[in-house]
Structure formats: C-alpha cells, structure tokens
Amino acid sequence: MRRKQQVRHIVQPKSKSRAEQLKFLAELHGEIQRAPQPKALDLKKFLIISAVVVAVSLAVVFFAGYRLQAIDAYNQQVEETGQGAINTSSPVYTILRIVAFIELGIYALYAVIRLIAPKRRKPNRSIWGDIGIYLMLALVAVAMAFPLVFSVCSALKPLDELFRFPPKVFPQHVTLDNFSDLLVTMGQSWVPFLRYLTNTVFITVVGTFGHVVIASMAAFVLAKYDFPGGKAFFSLVVTALMFSGYVTGIPNYIIMSRLRMIDTYWAVILPAFAAPVGLFLMKQFMEGLPTSLIEAAHLDGAGEFRIFWNIVMPNVKPAWLTIIIFSVQNLWNTNASTVIYSEEKKTLVYALQQIQAGGIARTGQAAAVTVIVMLVPVTIFILSQSRILETMASSGLKD
C-alpha cells in the first residue's frame, strides 16, 4: 500500500508584493518546499529537565566543597600530629567543582536562549551556534568589565587586604575609610578641594560646549557646501587624527605662549576647541542628511543659522552626544600641569595625582582616587552608549 502523503497547509500571504505572491504560487505548485516550522517548546518538560540538571549540578558542587573541607581538615590534623599520610586528592574535587560550575553556566545560557527563541529574529544558525556566540560575548564582557570592578572593589578594601598576596578581587571587609581619608587629606590642603573641582568643571563644560559648536559649524559647511579648498581642508583634518596630544604638546605650548595665555584656563580650553575628532565625526554624520531637507528650508525662507540650529543639529544628535563623551573624557582627565602653574588654577586630577604620589601609606586613598576620576566619564558613557553605537554605525553612510 502506498503511504499517504502528508497534506501541507500553505497560507496565502497578506503582503501584496510580487515576491511574496510568486513564492506563494511556487509553494502551491510544489516547486519549492516550505521551511519547516520549529516545534513549540514544551514548558512543563523543559522545567522538569532544568530542575534535574540544576539539582545534579548543585549536588556535585556541594559534595565537592564538603570533600575539600574534609580533606583540608584532615591534612591540617596530619601536620599537627605527624601521624598519617597527606591526602592529595583535593585537585580532583576542585576540577569536579569547576566542571559542575561550567556545566551549570552553559545550561543556564541554553535555557535562556530556548525561552527567548520564539520572540527573537531567526538567524541562519543552530542553537549551539547561539551558545558559542553568547559565550564569546560573555568572555569579552567580563574582560572589559574586570578593570572597573577591580578598581571599585580595591577602593572598598582596608589596607591589609590591599597588600595581600595573591590579591583577591572582592573585599572581605567592606569599608569607606579610603574615601573618608581622602576627604581629610584634601581638606588639609591650603587650596580648598572645592576649588580644584570648580576649575575642572569649568574647563570641561566650556571646552566641551565650544568644541561641539565649532566642530558642528565647520562640519555643516564641509558636508553641505562646495567651496575651493574644502576637500584639502578635510584631508588636513583626517591627517591630524594621526597625531596624539603628546606630539602636539610643544606646538600648543608655543602658540599659547605667543598668545600670552599660559597659566590661564584658556590654555586648556582653546586647544580643545580644535580637536579634529569632533569635526571628522560631525562631517561624516551630516553627509547622511538629505540635501533636499536643507533646500526645502531655503525655499521656506529660513536663514543659514536657523537651518543649522533648528534642522541640522536635532537630526545629528547622536553625533554631538558622542563628541560630548569624548571631550568630557579628555578634559576631565587632564592635569594641565604643563600650561597651568598657579595652584589655585590646578585641576582636580592634578590634586588627586599628588595624593597618589604620597607613598605606601596612601595606597587606599590612591584606589579611591582612581574611582573618583573614572566616575564621571563612565557615567556619561553608560547614559549615552546607544547614541555612540548609532553614530559609529552610520558615520560612513551617505545620501
């Protein structure tokens, strides 16, 4: 007897596009096979399997931990009494415990992927490919977050834990003494701590605002208008990206000295206005704006400044938010010791670096200084990271 062929249910597409209609007709005539639909997740069975896997893994972890404690107690007793032989099987239980933790982590990742699979876009890869990708991303995330976590944990450790070897990541006795000692040390300075903070905030705010405005205006002209020498000027800007601040330090000092701005805030602020990275990002991003939008504004009678401020700037918000992050990070972390000599005009970073140079007794305060210095740039980056990704993704696109 012939086996009955399974009846395939082909649904007519709701879309009226020609490609969808042709695909429907091809499936209807059997010219192409419809992709098999994934099986629905049996939630009850999945929960039972998950409970068994978690229970077995935790049982192995606790059993290995119990055996390690028993072996350590036995070996300590042997060392004290001198009777018996040292038990050397602890590495076996340690490896067993590590394997159980790894297995539990992999299954947890598999469970998450299975649960969110119906709600996500279906890529052309298996679930094990997803697990490999997520494991790689998790390792990269841990490697990138570890310095931040270690810095914060070090600032919360007492002095005896800071000098412990081998060092431990997390503090056993959390304390805020490092921050309180830092405030006491700053309070003993003949220049108030608030003065250093005010200087840094002023330089950062004014330098960032001027950098964003000047870079945006120059980028608008370079991106949307043709004039003699425009391409050569932009090539000069791209070339300037290759030079770091250490290379341009001496020319900046000579220029500021000729302008009689040494030992003033403007010796730091004016070079920040001319940073080439802001102009490059804004110009590349503005090239993606439709030129017809600007032409329509011209036809409606809008002036150049109104077009720039009311039309262009709101549409390039991701770009200037990215510039703000880069500029704040650069200005906040500068000590300006080469161009500012007066103590009452020094920046916060300079004062904190002097505390870090205080020797072993100020190791805890140095850890607190590291956290304070990185707090503002990290906070701004976290609040605006999506805008940075959008800028980097579309900076090379053109209309």
> CB of 74 within 8 A of CB of 52?
no
DSSP label at residue 311: I
pLDDT at 280 over 80: yes
Across 116-125, 163-172, 303-312, the highest mean pLDDT is recorded for: 303-312
The pLDDT value recorded for residue 4 is: 46
Q: Going by C-beta distance under 8 Å and a sequence separation of 6 or more, which residues neighbour residue 329?
A: 377, 380, 381
| Cis peptide, bond prior to residue 377, ω within 30 of zero | no
Predicted pLDDT at 15: 52
Residue 120 has pLDDT above 60, yes or no: no
Tens of pLDDT, residues 214-230:
999 988 888 888 888 88
Q: List for the chain the helix, strand, coil content (%; round to 5).
A: 70, 0, 30
Report pLDDT digits (tens) over 186-202: 777 777 778 888 888 89
Secondary structure of residue 345 in the 3-state scheme: helix
pLDDT value, residue 29? 59
Torsion angle (degrees, nearest 10) of CA 169, 170, 173, 175:
90
Lowest average pLDDT, out of 122-136, 307-321, 338-352, goes to: 122-136
Closest CA to 168 of 155, 150, 142, 156: 150
**Is the predicted pLDDT of residue 14 greater than 60, yes or no?**
no
The model's pLDDT over 49-105, given as tens digits with 9 standing for 90+, comes to: 888 888 888 888 888 888 888 888 887 877 777 776 777 677 777 788 787 777 777
Contact 322, 273 (CB under 8 A): no
Name all contacts of 114-117 with Cβ < 8 Å and 24+ positions apart: 114/41, 114/46, 115/41, 117/38, 117/41
Stretch (H or E) spanning 217: helix 193-224
